[in-house]
A and B are shown apart, each in its own frame.
Chain A
Amino acid sequence: MPEAVLNLLLIPLIKIVVLLGVVLLIVAYLTYAERKILAYMQVRLGPNRVGPKGWLQPIADGLKLFVKEDLIPGGAERFVFLLAPGLIMVPALLMFAVIPFGEPFKVGGRTITPYLADVNIAILLLLGISSIGVFGIILGGWSSNSKFSLMGGLRSAAQMISYEIPMGFAVVSVLMMAGTLSLVGIVEAQRQAHIWFVLPGILAFGIYWICGVAETNRNPFDLPEAEAELVAGFHTEYSGMKFALFFLAEYANMMVISALATVMFFGGWLPPFPNLLAGLWASPVLAWIPGVVWFAAKMGFFLFCYIWFRGTFPRYRFDQLMAVGWKWLLPLSLANVMLVGVLMLWWKG
């Protein structure tokens, strides 16, 4: 009996606590990293006052937002207005449940998996959950009773829905190569295929990454919160902790997109060229590097790309954004599915 309690209750509980803690910590320090990296790109210093080199800045920011007065605008639809931040934050965190961060390891004769669940429909689950986030944005924009918020919400809904389709097709080509919907299975398939899926699926990766940036409303697709036009878009009227939830959700979503790019195209926790360089990775020094480190390094690179884009690109106009999505990415992603299918047929004879 205690065995079952341990397996079904205690270990998952510890995992959840660790996962939530780590994710929220990374999100907090991602804002710090963004400010620092942007600062160095823009010949300035960034936060450097709170703590050594500004290390405590995210904590100070969090405290500030937490103790701030919680305003609800007079004309707002109270219930929906309160619901919206939760509707966007919960799915953002929920998605981390199925992301495999590393390979299973043994502690005291017990195998521990560094992920909460290996669901056999993980990809479908993720696509489903991520589309719930749109509700948070559109309801938040609508319930604020502000024209700028409403326009931001509408833009966002249109944008996320239209970019989900090519993204879905990009994912489909990965599924075809892996033959499974499970994320752990996809990584294992890459180990067996002796190759990261980014090489045969370079086109799919390009489409996935563009759509991923658009899905998270980041520059150059940050129209829903285009500050020059819509002040702050859908969260114009939010303040305090509710604003913080929108903010955290955005960064959590960035992490999910980066993590998925790592899992689906860059071999998850596998080191580069797992089989070709197998001798090198088995050497006594490098064998000590746990898979989680490889995973974090790859994910970190994608997160850096997000910040890099923000420092470099201007913003698309709304109709141009739609044109890119429907006229370019969608046909391209369909063609890619076709291409991958033909390649696989040819490969397997």
Chain B
Amino acid sequence: MSMHDPLKPLFDVEEMEISFGPQHPATHGVLRVQIKLDGERIMEAKPIIGYLHRGTEKLFETMAFPACIPHTDRMDYVTSATNNQGFCVAMEKLLGLTIPPRAAYIRMILAELQRLASHLVWLATHAIDIGAITPFFYTFRERDAILDLFEEYCGARLTLNTMRIGGVPFELPEGWLDRCSAFIEAFPKHIEEYETLLTENRIWKKRTIGIGVIPAEEAIEMGMTGPPLRGSGVEWDIRKVFPYDRYDEIEFDIPTGKNCDTYDRYLVRMEEMRQSVRIIRQCIEKIPDGPIMAKAPKVLRAKEGMVYASVESPKGELGYFIVATEKGTTPYRCRVRPPSFVNLQALPQLVEGALVADLVAVIGTLDIVLGEIDR
């Protein structure tokens, strides 16, 4: 009788292939991740996208410039105001328009409120993925207050369509700034409330520290932006490096992490919320009187040329690359650089060799929105 070769396993061991999504409670929309598992360990993960593709970029080519704005709402539907802002900033650069200061300040208030709303959704889903269900309800309570402010301003809560090329469409309703200010002053206490549930929680720390580590150089090579990049210690924020609207008149800090892991990205986003509060507070103090729209012709006609402009969306650098023909009223081509799409690239690297539960934590920490990835 021959001895069993000790180097060979007794049984045939096969990798288990699991299709994680597109309908799965933790994949945030319609992301599908094909994973190969050895027990609980992930050997390979491959994100598959395209389940929400609506051809937005192609649609832009058929629409007059201002008509594109509502379609930008539907890309990253969690932060529609920032999407509007990105498109408008790019168009203004193309047309050579300068927007009045009051419009710029209104835009910044809206964009920062939207950043808060987006980070609240991120915190809610991230926590619920890791098993803490209660923060979800707390964050959505505050998000609802923000959406109320939006509704009062422009009538919509989710797809806001709240900016125009050359300014903003509406004057602020009477008393809106006071209500916004009241919310902002109460908000830091709520952040502390979330933090009591999570920041020093041993299980939360165990689940996030050292998970999904990506060093700064690799993050830059991947093209990552936003909190995932800042979590790796790179001080990079479009609002600071290429200021748009009036961000150069506002004081704020860029929070960065040290350990490049999920916990640091969590801390970065929590601090970003505090910074947003700081920005809105300054905006409310400094907001000047004046017109809210630049003088622009009724029908916008571009000169031949191309332009790239980007804004700091809550997820990272949101860029619009617009090509226009002489006297054209529609974009000849409009390419969007969605931060989620680029950040998602890092997923296979972040989860290789990790456990299934970490995959969920990493998807949460990248804060992706599939509407933006697939467009």
Hey, which bits of chain A sit against chain B, CB under 8 A?
Answer: 38, 41-44, 147-148, 151, 219-220, 222-223, 226-231, 310-320
Contact = CB atoms under 8 A, between A and B. Distances in A.
B11 interface: no
B18 A226 contact: no
A320 B127 CA distance: 18
- Interface footprint category on B: 20 to 34
Contact of A320 (B26, B137, B206, B360): B206
A209 B212 CA distance: 33
B62 interface: no
A229 B137 contact: no
Contact of A314 (B16, B141, B203, B355): B203
A315 B128 CA distance: 9
Contacts of A314: 127, 130-132, 198, 201, 203-204, 207
A310 B133 contact: yes
B25 A228 contact: yes
B40 A319 contact: yes
B355 A319 contact: yes
B131 A44 contact: no
Nearest to B364: A228
A311 B127 CA distance: 12
B134 interface: yes
A12 B129 CA distance: 48
Given A42-B138, A315-B130, A228 B26 contact: yes
Contacts of B356: 151, 229-230, 318
Interface in B126-151: 127-134, 136-138, 141
A148 to B, nearest CB: 8
Given A228-B130, A315-B130, A317-B358, A43 B137 contact: yes
A229 B360 contact: yes
A43 B203 CA distance: 23
B131 A228 contact: yes
Contacts, number: 81
Nearest to A318: B40
B24 A222 contact: no
A315 to B, nearest CB: 3
B156 interface: no
A220 B131 CA distance: 8
Contacts of A229: 26, 356-357, 359-360
A147 B201 CA distance: 31
A310 B207 CA distance: 17
A162 to B, nearest CB: 15
Contacts of B133: 38, 42, 310-311
Given A42-B134, A229-B356, A310-B133, 20 more contacts: A42-B137, A43-B137, A43-B141, A147-B16, A151-B40, A219-B131, A226-B357, A227-B26, A228-B129, A228-B131, A229-B26, A229-B357, A229-B359, A231-B25, A312-B197, A314-B127, A316-B206, A317-B206, A317-B207, A318-B356
B195 to A, nearest CB: 14
